[in-house]
Amino acid sequence: MKKDSRIYIAGHNGMVGSAIWKILIARGFTNLVGLPSAELDLRDQKSVCDFFADMQPEIVIDAAARVGGILANNDFPYQFIMENMQIQNNLIDTALRSGVEKFIFLGSSCIYPKLAPQPLKEHYLLTDVLEPTNEWYAIAKIAGIKACQAIRKQFGKDFVSLMPTNLYGPHDNFDLHTSHVLPAMIRKFHEARINNNATVTLWGSGKPMREFLYVDDMAKAVVFALENRLPHYLYNIGTGQDLTIEKLAAIVQQVTGHTGKIIWDADKPDGTPKKLMDVSKMHKLGWKHEVELYEGIKITYDWFSKNIENFKQIKL
């Protein structure tokens, strides 16, 4: 790959896309392409085809998706399955028809069965039922993985899928109705701290185990996949380390400086009991995460604090 290769990053303004853009620029890549959703609706097939015909990207990174936490997935199942399939189908098929040789498809660890053995290995895909609270998003992402695998098998093109664990970092979504657990905690603890260290109520029992990856490490995994032809079609991206949601809350509470009480609302769903990624395939190839959890949360909270009036909120 040349430094002036035309690289299209779908979703370049999002948390993951912006991190990928930043790292590619830092590494000397000079021909990056991205359009905001207001200018290019990726759900519209004709718009995507016209964009590819005009820009003629050589490499495509699909970091665009409708995303959200348990509440958003549960309340808007149709949008989560249909809009994600529209976005990825338009990008994947148009990339194939336009002669794109390298395509990186980003998904999520929710593609794996709810009760799959731990840690999650890539070959566990489609071996059992999904977690019902986010199956709509998961089914869409599985379809994208299989489309890229089919292109790889039938046409020999370098279409590869990277499945990150729970991501967090600057430019995350901190809307309490649609965000994931870690950014939601950051906002809740911050607002409680400035409100006389008010009590913070968190969903579930606090017992589920989760793994978290700082977004810049995910971006570096994408760049690693750009600079190398990976031999398989699917790779997990994570730290290989997890902790309970209860311990996560304690870290976020410490970082934000909140000293009040925490209440766990056990009537709310926990989701999957444990989700730990087996990242041995990527480790063997040479990629490994660099930012540990406490450091990453501190960086994220610092960013949140400086952007308190402008942080991203997704409205469904």
- Is 177 annotated for ligand binding? no
- Is 12 annotated for ligand binding? yes
Pairing of strands 212-214, 262-265: unpaired
Question: Looking at the annotation, which residues are catalytic?
Answer: 137
Is residue 134 classed exposed, middle or buried when 0-12, 13-18 and 19+ CB atoms within 10 A define those classes? buried
- Is 167 annotated for ligand binding? yes
- Is 106 annotated for ligand binding? yes
Q: Residue 264: what residue type?
A: W
- Is 73 annotated for ligand binding? no
- Is 166 annotated for ligand binding? yes
- Is 16 annotated for ligand binding? yes
Phi, psi of 58 (to 5 degrees): -95, -30
- Is 203 annotated for ligand binding? yes
- Is 234 annotated for ligand binding? no
- Is 265 annotated for ligand binding? no
Cβ atoms of residues 226 and 276 within 8 Å: no
Q: Hey, how many other C-beta atoms are within 10 angstroms of the C-beta on 257?
A: 12
Cβ atoms of residues 202 and 188 within 8 Å: yes
> Rg (Cα) of the chain, in Å, rounded?
19
Pairing of strands 158-164, 209-210: unpaired
Task: Report how far apart, in Å, the C-alpha atoms of 229 and of each of 17, 82, 154, 223, 285 are.
Answer: 21, 31, 17, 11, 10
- Is 141 annotated for ligand binding? yes
Assigned token pair, 169: 């970092």
- Is 60 annotated for ligand binding? no
- Is 220 annotated for ligand binding? no
Nearest CA to 254 out of 304, 215, 294, 293 is that of: 294
- Is 180 annotated for ligand binding? yes
Q: Residue 50: what residue type?
A: D
Question: 3-state DSSP call for residue 32?
Answer: strand
CA 4/CA 23 separation, integer angstroms: 15
- Is 11 annotated for ligand binding? yes
Assigned token pair, 181: 């657990």
Phi, psi of 80 (to 5 degrees): -70, -35
- Is 14 annotated for ligand binding? yes
Positions at the binding site: 11-17, 106-109, 141, 164-167, 180, 188, 203, 210, 270
Known binding positions for substrate: 188, 203, 210, 270
Annotated binding-site members for NADP(+): 11-17, 106-109, 141, 164-167, 180
